[in-house]
Amino acid sequence: MQVTETKSENLNRGFEIAIPADQIEERVMTRLKELAKRVRLPGFRPGKAPVSLLRKTYGPNVMGEVLEQMVNETSRSIMEERGLRPAMQPKIEVTKFEDGSDLEYKMDIEVLPEIEVGDLSQLKLERLVAEPEDKVVDDTLERISQAYKTAEPLKAKRAAKAGDIVVIDFVGKVGGEEFAGGKAEDYSLELGSNSFIPGFEDQLVGAKPDTDVEVKVTFPEEYGAADLAGKDAVFEVKVKEIQQPVPAAIDDDLAKKVGMDDLAALRKQIRDDHAEQYKSLSRQRLKRSLLDALADRHDFPVPQGLTDREFQSIWDQYEQHLKQGGEEDPEDAAKSEDEKKEEFRSIAERRVRLGLLLAEVGRANNLQVSQEDINRAMMAEAQKYPGQEQAVLEYFRSHPEAMETVSAPLFEEKVVDFIVEMAAVTDKSVSVEELMRDPDEEEDAAADKPKAKAKKPAAKKPAAKKSAKKADEAAGDAAEDKG
């Protein structure tokens, strides 16, 4: 085999390879002899058919198989001998081949860069920590109390107001004719719940018990029943009684209704749930700070192919977001398409760089995702589809690319945990409001600039632009691919 390097520019490598005809012929003959042992041809006993006849019958297929194997083997050998790690599948182009002649082909590769990971122990990070306040627990108890509210008749007669429950009989008509499903008796309707057609409940505000009210509404254009959609209707409503909602008492009985032993246990569960939420949010903030710090400390060339692929993914998500009626930031709407693409490309490049950096940290420290972790994640995903769990698991097992969507985030989190362990992390107690505040708003406030003016084109705006604030979270995909 003759190998000539034709290109060595930045991360791009090019080679011209020639495989001698005699090596190809040797491989073809070996394959034909293997076939001769098991192929049946008319007039010959098993294993006795001459190779020359087999060549006429199976030659083209065998030649194609052999050429593919030899290109794969030689290209892989070239990369291994030179220590090249391809960023993507190499581009192969056969430039010359005729039966009985040498095989010549070109191979273009974009390789992964050499990455020198800085001293991770020098990273200084701040972890925001917030504890659930009594008010948060009390507010949650109030919502539970409202969810288990009851109704009782008014002690003194008055007109109905928003929040009241009216007991009504009603008959609906379109064009003077009653329609199916438009009639009920002793129906309890909470005014302001928006459970009826828009405008219906509003016209009962101010009604008194034992009165008749004519309610005129128009069914929405997107109403479920096609024969009613967009049509005007009149409801003859008799207000029989007005009741007021009474929240459930916040006591042990309420706790038992939601499956807890007593009120103290319910309060503790609420506090623990909020603490877990704050812990998760704290980690998100810490991870973002970590990725920002890594991006600031590392600057190396990234493969153009990976960047192009990542950019296209971001741009496609952005366009899909707009097609589905998603809103666009006014600042972004004022930009030209070229300006948006330039910003998205910066985001894509940062994503790829961070992904490769995380992959290198994982590779250098032999960090791996266990099959047990992957199985757990797959099961958690499958449980989102009750009754179809087995089908979801089978889909993952038969589609490697789907499996990567499970393993990549796990790998990323493992690497992030490792780096956090190495870094100097200090905890800072903050209020819940500060913990939940958008970091971009904090940056703008600190710089005393209007919102969205001092953003880095980093992971602060993804996918459909709005979600690009978490673009770095996708860095794990590249990390898993190259880990």
Lowest-pLDDT choice from 7-21, 320-334, 356-370: 320-334
Q: What is the mean pLDDT of residues 158-181?
A: 94
Nearest by Cα to 379 from 401, 405, 406, 398:
406
- Record the pTM: 0.72
Residue 470 has pLDDT above 60, yes or no: no
**Do the Cβ atoms of 344 and 314 come closer than 8 Å?**
yes
Give the pLDDT of residue 353. Answer: 96
Give the pLDDT of residue 471. Answer: 42
Q: What is the pLDDT of residues 395-416, one digit of tens each?
A: 988 988 888 889 999 999 999 9
- pLDDT-based confidence at residue 460 (cuts at 50, 70, 90): very low
CATH 2.30.42.10 for domain 266-482, yes or no, is no
Q: What is the pLDDT of residues 177-210, one digit of tens each?
A: 999 989 999 999 999 999 999 999 999 999 999 9
Give the pLDDT of residue 16. Answer: 96
Element of type H or E holding 6: strand 2-9
Provide the percentage of residues in the chain whose pLDDT is more than 90.
Answer: 74
Domain boundaries, the chain: 2-110, 150-246, 266-482
- pLDDT-based confidence at residue 474 (cuts at 50, 70, 90): very low
Tell me the average pLDDT of the chain: 88
CATH 3.10.50.40 for domain 150-246, yes or no, is yes
Residue 258 has pLDDT above 90, yes or no: yes
Q: What is the pLDDT of residues 343-361, one digit of tens each?
A: 999 999 999 999 999 999 9
Is there a shared CATH topology between the 2-110 domain and the 266-482 domain?
Answer: no
- pLDDT-based confidence at residue 459 (cuts at 50, 70, 90): very low
Q: Count of CB atoms within 10 A of residue 193's CB?
A: 11
**Do the Cβ atoms of 19 and 96 come closer than 8 Å?**
no
CATH architecture entry for 2-110: 2-Layer Sandwich (3.30)
Give the pLDDT of residue 333. Answer: 84
- pLDDT-based confidence at residue 451 (cuts at 50, 70, 90): very low
